[in-house]
Amino acid sequence: MPLQEINMESIQAIKQRFGIIGNDPKLNRSIEKAIQVAPTDISVLVTGESGVGKESIPKIIHQISHRKHGKYIAVNCGAIPEGTIDSELFGHEKGAFTGATTTRSGYFEVADGGTIFLDEVGELPLTTQVRLLRVLENGEFIKVGSSKVQKTNVRIVAATNVNMFEAIKKEKFREDLYYRLSTIEINLPPLRARKDDIHLLFRKFASDFALKYKMPTVKLTDDAVNALENYRWNGNIRQLRNVAEQVSVLEQNRTIDNKTLQNYLPNIGSNLPAVVSNSKSESDFSSEREILYKVLFDMKGDLNDLKKLTMELMKKGSDADVQKDNEHLIQKIYGDADEKDEEFEAAVEDLEILAIPEHKETAEEIISEAADKYHFAEEIEEEETLSLHDKELELIKKSLERHSGKRKLAAAELGISERTLYRKIKQFDL
């Protein structure tokens, strides 16, 4: 078929022959380009979202070309495992790999003189892309496990829903192969860009399913038609066909209004933009504040206990009658935990760390104010801290003298571990 201006009559004839429904200008332009390129052997790349019907274009190109009596093979590149795709496309020799018990012809050998449709070509591994590039450049290929170069005369039509420029940028697709495949690029518009065709397609699908399941055809009310045409249809024609089938099978009432139709239209893919908040939600702040309050309450309790112990220790002095109580206080302050590398700091008499104003809105402000008050409390109680230090030193000295310097016995008397006592001896230079 020579290159010529394509009129609308021939486009309508092609639509009827291949079951294509719609009158959208972009759709018509895509079919027109397919008709024009069909008589040549130019490679074609069909692009568009998943579900727009890309598989129809290679069929049109093959059927109205001089190769129409040759083989037409459609290959889903994304469905073939990476380890076997070279064997599938180019064939293999016997013994080429484990399981290769016989010689096998690949698609490019079988389709010699015909057309190969490589669907989802963007999923091809890089090593296979190199082999495919050689076929496009000079029609040569080598079977897996062979060294013999073979020739093939095939027309390659490829399709993808991948953004090829992004794939090239990420080095997932060879740039030279892209330009060899896309000598002519045919883009099919998404269904949401063909609003006037949506109801036509639904009516066709509804009629087909009514015939298939032997039931009356469903019809849409005006408000349902409006909802159908304004839905986003991320799955395109494939999704619309599924909705038509579900409605045809499940609904007893054959007149479908908008309310009924909405049950079959997922909320995903709404035309409305998502609202993204840059700040934390009120519930997040509430949860975080509760945790901080708990930590600060625990801290206040510990410090109050320490203050009480310190004051009692200072009042009791070093009389022999209260020696046991003093040792018990030391044990409560230091305990037996080996991991305590630093002694407690001073207790405070008037700690207001939990007087947190209700107007504080962020965790950072709460922490900052608490830290300021804590450091201030440390400064004002310095004298009490020094008194505790002296008392502690005195108790340790007396215990060591009583037990003639035997640390184990002194530690047992003081109620602390021997390791803690050793650290204190070293700290006080006893």
Q: Which of 13, 11, 61, 9 has its CA nearest to residue 39?
A: 61
Q: Do 105 and 31 reside in the same domain of the chain? A: yes
Q: Do 167 and 38 reside in the same domain of the chain? A: yes
Q: What is the DSSP letter of 49?
A: -
In a domain, 179, yes or no: yes
Q: Do 92 and 115 reside in the same domain of the chain? A: yes
Query: Strand ranges (DSSP E) for 109-232?
Result: 115-119, 140-142, 149-151, 155-160, 184-187, 219-220
pLDDT at res. 74: 96
53 CA to centre of own chain: 27
In a domain, 289, yes or no: no
Q: Do 121 and 247 reside in the same domain of the chain? A: no
In a domain, 388, yes or no: yes
Instruction: Please calculate the CA angle 316-321-323 and round it to the nearest 5 degrees.
Output: 65
Domain boundary at 262, 280, 313, which? 262
Q: Do 12 and 157 reside in the same domain of the chain? A: yes
Residue 389: strand, helix, or coil: helix
Domain carrying residue 346: 296-428
Q: Judge contact between 189 and 27, C-beta under 8 A.
A: yes
**What CATH code is carried by the domain that includes residue 208?**
1.10.8.60
Q: Do 51 and 135 reside in the same domain of the chain? A: yes
pLDDT at res. 282: 47
pLDDT at res. 268: 55
In a domain, 276, yes or no: no
**What CATH code is carried by the domain that includes residue 137?**
3.40.50.300
Domain boundary at 158, 189, 220, which? 189
Write phi, then psi, for 173 (nearest 5 degrees): -145, 140
In a domain, 280, yes or no: no
Q: Judge contact between 19 and 12, C-beta under 8 A.
A: no
pLDDT at res. 293: 65
pLDDT at res. 6: 60
Residue 68: strand, helix, or coil: coil
Residue 255: strand, helix, or coil: strand
Q: Do 253 and 171 reside in the same domain of the chain? A: no
Q: Do 75 and 157 reside in the same domain of the chain? A: yes
Domain boundary at 165, 189, 213, which? 189
Q: Do 83 and 170 reside in the same domain of the chain? A: yes
pLDDT at res. 424: 78
Number of domains in the chain: 3
In a domain, 3, yes or no: no
Residue 78: strand, helix, or coil: helix
pTM of the model: 0.60
Q: Do 423 and 319 reside in the same domain of the chain? A: yes
Residues of the chain falling short of pLDDT 70: 1-9, 268-290, 292-294, 297, 310-389
Q: Do 137 and 211 reside in the same domain of the chain? A: no
In a domain, 327, yes or no: yes
Q: Do 173 and 26 reside in the same domain of the chain? A: yes
In a domain, 271, yes or no: no
Q: Which of 396, 397, 400, 398 has its CA nearest to residue 333?
A: 396
